[in-house]
Amino acid sequence: MSKEAIIEKIISEAEAQAKATVSEAEKKADEIISLAAEQCKSYLAANKSDIDRAVKDVAERSATVAELDAKKLLLETKSAMLDETFRMAREKAANLDKTAYKKLICGMLQCAEDGDTVTVSAREKGIVTKKLIDEIAGKKGIKLTLNPEIGDFDGGIVLSGNGVDKNLTLEVEFDLLRDEKESETATKLFG
């Protein structure tokens, strides 16, 4: 073989080997790309599900929080309305005409016991007199005393005796009334 034939053969074999290597590399690259593409699809599918679930969870939590906030606001509003209802009722009782208010105070005085001292607020000063106290005490067959000092409350009376005070002020009475009637009142107001 001539030198040129040998060179030609070497070049031909090198080219064939290069083509085979390139073909092998392209085949391997295609496999790697195909595998990577499959892994990406699987990753995206898995993550899409996670992302969709996360988005759904966030939306559900937001809806739950919004619902709780709405319920809290509604409850606060209802509570404020109940506060105002009982405040208005107490104010109405405090502003009854003199005859009706005297009847209310006389009802409170029925809780008096022998030896009690009756303390009134400025509101009752002209209504609850020593004469009225003496009349009620006589009817009950007990001894009552009208405290010459005015109580620091707005409406109602305080009965003091034997180391015990009976707080029959409008504030306390309406607080007790609210404890007793709040549920019923709320049902009437809000259904």
Adjacency order of strands within the sheet including 156-161: 145-146, 117-120, 156-161, 164-169
Percent of the chain with pLDDT over 90: 34
pLDDT for the residue 158:
95
Number of residues assigned to the chain: 191
For residue 146 the two structure tokens come to 């009208």
106 contacts 132 by C-beta, under 8 angstroms? yes
| Burial of residue 108, with CB atoms counted within 10 A of its CB: 0-12 exposed, 13-18 middle, 19 or more buried | buried
Instruction: Report which residue type is found at 32.
Output: I
CATH number of the domain located at residue range(s) 98-190 in this protein? 3.30.2320.30
Q: What is the pTM of this model?
A: 0.62
Q: Domain limits of the chain?
A: 1-95, 98-190
Average of per-residue pLDDT across 72-93: 89
- pLDDT band for position 18 (cuts 50, 70, 90): low
- pLDDT band for position 123 (cuts 50, 70, 90): confident
pLDDT for the residue 143:
95
C-alpha angle with apex 43: 42 to 47, nearest 5 degrees? Answer: 120
- pLDDT band for position 121 (cuts 50, 70, 90): very high
Quick check: 14 pLDDT over 70?
no
pLDDT for the residue 171:
92
Nearest to 85 by CA among 12, 164, 177, 3: 177
Average of per-residue pLDDT across 39-63: 81
Quick check: 159 pLDDT over 90?
yes
Nearest to 114 by CA among 148, 150, 139: 139
Average of per-residue pLDDT across 93-109: 90
Task: Return the bridge partners of 95, or none.
Answer: none
